[in-house]
Structure 1
């Protein structure tokens, strides 16, 4: 409590909190897009439960990582170096490097998994081919296996996003109470947005492709980050916001055309 009271009267602490909450919410929404796409592939009665499990695991992982911050900071220390680096960037840093820390290796592995999963989902969306193996199994067993598989994949991505989330928090503030509040705020937003976002994605199939495109881009950014190529987050989120805006106009246009068609049919009768 003695550590929290001085922060309440510190404008810099409030500024750090607001900024960190926004960044944590953005990272949480990225995590939630993946959870929503996976859960929407399950039978309807299982979707909400799997989403809640996924978000609950994200909260547990983030809080667990906060409790071992000293160890987590150690993940940024170099484990091995291949001795390869790019030219000098505008701020004197190498454009890329191969001095890998555990954080870099986790980001590369998570990025590769995200790229693989997004590519697989895009292929399935473009060319849906039913699996013949399912005919050989009991339907109930298949559904349970799918739910288990979805939760396992959610756990893997929760881990990657959680480490990214907490390392972002460590980079922005030294105050543990601010980190805890920001993480709790982000997970609260995830809980509130989970069902509406999942339902919106389910009702608008083109949004699924857009969301998968986002996941593909995030995966590539994670891989680049692991190799020391730091893409400014502002560019990424501006591109995502622009793409989402264009898709929103497409949805509005389709709904408007559907209303006009419905009104024309009603007028004809």
Structure 2
């Protein structure tokens, strides 16, 4: 208790907590986009439950990993080298997660633009939807990748476990509140789906690059995402204005 009171009285701890919460929320955007796109493929009555389970798993994984911080930190230690480039377990996890994200986003884009598949659906063909268990398994895999990256980032910003726990819980609560509105927004705006898939491709490529030691400042990534979202927002306003004029 004395330790917690000492932390609460330290302005530097509050500053670190604010910065870490902001960082965790930003890192959670990637995870939330993936969860929203994947659960939107489930039957409507399962979507909200799938999102809650996916985000709940993210919280459980993050808190579990916080309990093994000493082990997580060791994941950055080199385990082998190839052509002079050392790789750690973290590098391998990021590369595997990035490859999965690129594959998944590419498959989803192919599904969206495959005219033969759309013709089959129009003619009464069956759509092979993702199963609930399959969706949760994919979410769990990406939760693991994003959770490890999140915890390593947290360790780099503060040494205090309670601060990390508060930041992680707060960020996951924000994800939980934003999950349904974001998923509905993506579902009702088809062009946003392609934009989000483009984001996932970029994030996947960034994870692969990070795994190979090519660090890309996340500020650049999220600035590009924000600019693309702004342009798409202007396009949506333009289309809405055109519809109003045509209706008038």
Q: Name the TM-score class by shorter chain.
A: over 0.9
1:151 pairs, out of 123, 136, 159, with 136
Q: Deviations over 1:119-164 (max 9, x none)?
A: 11111111151699xxxxx99xx76x62111111101001101111
Q: CA deviation at 1:7?
A: 1.6
In the other structure, the counterpart of 1:79 is 79
Question: What is the rounded CA distance, in whole Å, between the counterparts of 1:153 and 1:130 in structure 2?
Answer: 25
**Misfit runs of 4+, over 3 Å:** none
In the other structure, the counterpart of 2:58 is 58
Question: What is the rounded CA distance, in whole Å, between the counterparts of 1:122 and 1:57 in structure 2?
Answer: 26
Question: What is the rounded CA distance, in whole Å, between the counterparts of 1:69 and 1:40 in structure 2?
Answer: 34
Q: Deviations over 1:19-65 (max 9, x none)?
A: 11011001111101000000111111110011111001000000000
Question: How has the CA–CA distance of structure 1 residues 182 and 131 changed in structure 2, closer, same or farther, with 3 Å as cutoff?
Answer: farther
In the other structure, the counterpart of 1:38 is 38
Q: Verify: 1:249 aligned to 2:204, yes or no.
A: no
Q: Verify: 1:104 aligned to 2:101, yes or no.
A: no
2:108 pairs, out of 121, 141, 158, with 121
In the other structure, the counterpart of 2:21 is 21
Q: CA deviation at 1:6?
A: 1.4
Q: Verify: 1:198 aligned to 2:173, yes or no.
A: no
Q: CA deviation at 1:9?
A: 1.9
| Structure number with larger C-alpha Rg | 1
In the other structure, the counterpart of 1:92 is none
Question: What is the rounded CA distance, in whole Å, between the counterparts of 2:141 and 2:119 in structure 1?
Answer: 24
**Aligned residues between the structures:** 242
SS at match of 1:231: coil
Unaligned runs of 5+ in 1: 85-97, 133-137, 265-269
SS at match of 1:228: coil
Q: Deviations over 1:62-104 (max 9, x none)?
A: 00000111111110111101243xxxxxxxxxxxxx2000000
Q: Verify: 1:173 aligned to 2:158, yes or no.
A: yes
Question: What is the rounded CA distance, in whole Å, between the counterparts of 1:246 and 1:174 in structure 2?
Answer: 40
Question: What is the rounded CA distance, in whole Å, between the counterparts of 2:34 and 2:190 in structure 1?
Answer: 15
Question: What is the rounded CA distance, in whole Å, between the counterparts of 1:238 and 1:256 in structure 2?
Answer: 27
SS at match of 1:3: helix
SS at match of 1:120: helix
Q: TM-score, normalised by structure 2?
A: 0.93
1:188 pairs, out of 145, 168, 173, with 173
In the other structure, the counterpart of 2:203 is 218
